[in-house]
């Protein structure tokens, strides 16, 4: 066999070694990016995205109002000199550019946190939309590194319950509770007709027993007023699994469409109660939600309402009672005592979840203190 000259073999072996090094650097160890200026950028994360790479408006608005950072990445200076840098990010058409100035010492790293200021367009978005996040670094006014990521903007009514662990996003449901919705004002005005003195005063009585009686009467008046809108219950169980999302109607939408599931109803009633200066709670249990209302400010006593019963007729209520082993004549079901039955069912549901240690209470007053404010109007 004829031997290949050494002067040919050596260059081939050298090319093979170089190729192996390139493959390792590019594919086996791809976790970091090094710019031509000696800067390394890695660990890029965006807190607003769910597992489907969607930005959830309710979460984005809440973090914006709280002033919390939303984007994080690590910058490493591998050079022998200090660097004065500007790090920034933007979502064109959806959020303004946000920049931070940093001084990065030679051969050091720094974690960078950035915020975003969103346009009102985010709160008005009615369908999934395409968008792009741009990250960048400037030095001396010149952009020396940038990276883009395609994302989706979820519709405004999208709610995510859990991002990394159970219920870690549940408080953001308070973004949908809006006491200033025009439809809420309309219902409150109609509810006055169902009270003795044709007024709703909220928490204004000093006597605890009298206030508890007044609170219950006002909750009943709102229940009665909402019945006149003919809102029907839509059976769509909640899913609290990590990463899952669900559409939530605003109070305006529930009344306009005359349709609501359990979480829509809880949001609707909570909006009414907050309008009166009272302290509502949204109570979440396995696949379901009810609304709670403190009987007086900061009280440990509360009523709990099964909001899905607001649209039921006497025949349906009597039939469901019979199925539960309770003998109730259809003619015995009146709009007035239907509220009491809704409270009884709500209390039993709450107690069952509590006994099983399987509930999450979203305190709307506390959420406001955490700067989770109403985000959506209609």
Q: What dihedral angle (degrees, nearest 10) is formed by the CA atoms of 212, 172, 97, 76?
A: 120
Q: Looking at the predicted structure, is the pLDDT value of residue 222 above 70? A: yes
pLDDT of residue 15: 55
User: DSSP of 261-328, one letter per residue?
Assistant: -HHHHHHHHHHHHHHTT--EEEEEETTEEEEEEESSTT-S-EEEE-GGGGG--HHHHHHHHHHTT---
Most confident of 4-8, 129-133, 233-237: 129-133
Is the pLDDT score of 316 beyond 50? yes
| pLDDT tens column, 196-221 | 888 999 999 999 999 999 999 999 99
Q: Does residue 20 sit in helix, strand or coil? A: helix
> Of 209, 86, 69, 208, which is closest to residue 139 (Cα–Cα)?
86
Under DSSP, is residue 169 helix (H, G, I), strand (E, B) or coil?
coil
Of 157, 90, 77, 83, the C-alpha closest to 117 is: 90
Question: Beta-carbon neighbour count of residue 162 at 10 Å?
Answer: 18
Residue ranges with strand state E in 223-279: 232-233, 245-247, 259-260
Strand-strand pairing, 54-55 and 142-153: parallel
3 state DSSP class of 4? coil
Residues 6+ apart with CB under 8 A from 59: 48, 160, 169, 172
Tokens describing residue 61: 């608005």
What CATH topology corresponds to 33-153?
Immunoglobulin-like (2.60.40)
Number of Cβ within a 10 Å radius of residue 366 = 14
Cα–Cα distance list, 265 to 78, 236, 252, 311 (Å)? 56, 12, 12, 10
pLDDT, residue 250, reads 93
- Has residue 357 got a pLDDT over 70? yes
pLDDT value of position 24: 37
**Can you say how many angstroms the Cα of residue 75 is from the centroid of all Cα atoms in its chain?**
30
CA distance 137 to 40: 11
* pLDDT class of 175 with cuts at 50, 70, 90: very high
Over range 288-316, report the average pLDDT: 90
Q: Select the highest-mean-pLDDT range: 8-12, 45-49, 320-324.
A: 45-49
Domain residue ranges in the chain: 33-153, 158-369
């Amino acid at each position: 066999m004829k031997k290949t000259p050494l002067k040919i073999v050596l260059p081939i072996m050298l090319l093979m070694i170089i190729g192996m090094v390139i493959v390792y650097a590019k594919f086996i160890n791809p976790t970091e990016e090094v710019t031509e200026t000696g800067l390394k950028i890695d660990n890029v994360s965006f807190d607003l995205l769910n597992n489907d790479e969607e930005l959830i408006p309710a979460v984005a608005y809440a973090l914006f109002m709280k002033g919390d950072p939303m984007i994080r990445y690590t910058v490493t200076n591998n050079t022998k000199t200090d660097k004065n840098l500007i790090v920034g990010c933007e979502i064109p058409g959806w959020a303004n550019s946000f920049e931070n100035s940093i001084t990065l010492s030679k051969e050091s790293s720094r974690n960078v946190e950035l915020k975003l200021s969103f346009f009102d367009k985010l709160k008005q978005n009615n369908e999934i939309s395409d968008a792009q996040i741009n990250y960048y670094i400037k030095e001396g006014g010149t952009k020396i590194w940038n990276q883009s990521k395609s994302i989706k903007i979820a519709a405004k009514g999208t709610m995510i319950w859990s991002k990394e662990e159970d219920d870690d996003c549940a408080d953001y449901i308070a973004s949908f509770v809006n006491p200033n919705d025009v439809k809420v004002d309309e219902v409150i005005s109609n509810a006055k007709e169902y009270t003795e003195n044709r007024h709703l005063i909220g928490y204004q009585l000093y006597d605890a027993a009298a206030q508890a009686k007044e609170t219950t009467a006002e909750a009943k008046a709102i229940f009665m007023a909402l019945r006149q809108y003919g809102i029907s219950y839509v059976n769509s169980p909640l899913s609290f699994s990590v990463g899952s999302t669900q559409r939530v109607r605003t109070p305006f939408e529930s009344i306009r469409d005359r349709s609501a599931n359990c979480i829509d109803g809880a949001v609707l009633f909570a909006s009414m109660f907050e309008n009166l200066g009272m302290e509502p709670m949204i109570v979440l249990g396995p696949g379901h939600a009810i609304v709670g209302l403190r009987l007086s400010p900061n009280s440990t006593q509360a009523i709990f309402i099964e909001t899905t019963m607001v649209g039921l007729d006497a025949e349906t209520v009597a039939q469901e009672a019979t199925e539960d082993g309770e003998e109730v004549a259809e003619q015995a079901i009146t709009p007035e005592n239907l509220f009491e039955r809704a409270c009884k069912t709500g209390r039993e549901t709450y107690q069952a979840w509590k006994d099983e240690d399987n509930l999450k209470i979203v305190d709307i007053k506390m959420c406001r203190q955490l700067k989770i404010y109403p985000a959506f109007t209609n």
